């Protein structure tokens, strides 16, 4: 890939990768570093990366960097106590979206990862499996479990609301 294609990938995917990582870990600074690190790796390997697979390359690199960091970090904490700043809120943010956002934080790490890739990026089971080094069957099971959890959480909150 050339400079133009690389810069296009910054425009197209940097927000997505950042959002994906930020949703998985608590630390915004680290999320930024991971995105930057992923793009550095992409640039270093630009000659060998197929421009059509840049997005997958970025997500795969970012995911594994994140996992490495989380494993190394003994003090890893997930997003339970992380609050997205007010200015980051979408204007269309509804009660349901807030409930769902909170429920996603409660998911096990791997379920959260696969369902974010599925819903945010529209990846297939196979693509998610390639990114996370899981089998398609495992990905499917995690997504199903995540859906059931989210559905039951929404259902409960629906009664409360």
Partner 1 sequence: MKITRDNYEPFFLDYLEGNLDENKIDQFLDFLVQNPDLKEELHLLEHVHLPEEQIIFSEKMMLYKSAADEKVVTENKAIAYLEGDLDDDDRKSFETYLATHPELQKEYTVFTKTRLIPEAGIKYPDKLKLYKKSGLTVVMKWAVRAAAVVVLLWGINSLFQNENQPTAVKSNQEIAALSPKVNTPVKTIESAKKSQETENQEELKTENESKLVKTKSIRRQAKRRPAEKVPTVLPSAERDLTVLAEITPITTKLDFEAEASLLAVSHSVNTEKINDPRNIMTVEEFLASRAKKAGNEGLLSAQRIMRLGLSVASELSGQRISYKVKGGKVSSLDFESKLMAFSIPLEKK
DSSP per residue, 117-160:
HHHHH---HHHHHHHHT--HHHHHHHHHHHHHHHHHHHHHHHHH
Q: Which stretch binds partner 1 (CB under 8 A): 32-40, 48-56, 67-75, 126-134?
A: 32-40
Instruction: Spell out the alpha helix ranges (H) of 25-94.
Output: 28-44, 54-72
Q: Which stretch binds partner 1 (CB under 8 A): 47-55, 62-70, 72-80, 98-106?
A: 98-106
The token pair at 126 is 């196979």
Q: Which of 52/85 has CB closer to partner 1?
A: 85
Question: Is residue 43 a contact point for partner 1 (CB under 8 A)?
Answer: yes
**Out of 36, 76, 133, 135, the residue judged to bind partner 1 by CB under 8 A:** 36
Q: Shortest distance, CB of residue 137 to partner 1, whole angstroms? A: 12
Question: Is residue 106 a contact point for partner 1 (CB under 8 A)?
Answer: no
* Separation of alpha carbons 40 and 157, rounded Å: 43
């Amino acid at each position: 890939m050339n400079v133009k294609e690389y810069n296009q990938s910054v425009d197209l995917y940097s927000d997505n990768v950042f959002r994906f990582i930020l949703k998985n870990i608590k630390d915004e600074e680290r999320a930024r570093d991971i995105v930057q690190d992923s793009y550095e790796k992409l640039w270093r390997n630009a000659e060998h990366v197929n421009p059509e697979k840049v997005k997958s390359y970025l997500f795969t690199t970012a995911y594994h960097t994140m996992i490495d960091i989380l494993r190394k970090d003994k003090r890893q904490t997930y997003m339970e106590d992380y609050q997205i700043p007010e200015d980051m809120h979408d204007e269309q943010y509804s009660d349901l979206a807030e409930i769902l956002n909170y429920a996603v934080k409660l998911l096990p790490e791997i379920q959260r990862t696969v369902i974010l890739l599925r819903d945010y990026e529209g990846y297939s089971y196979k693509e998610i499996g390639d990114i996370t080094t899981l089998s398609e069957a495992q990905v499917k099971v995690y997504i199903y479990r995540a859906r059931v959890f989210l559905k039951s959480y929404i259902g409960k909150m629906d009664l409360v609301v």
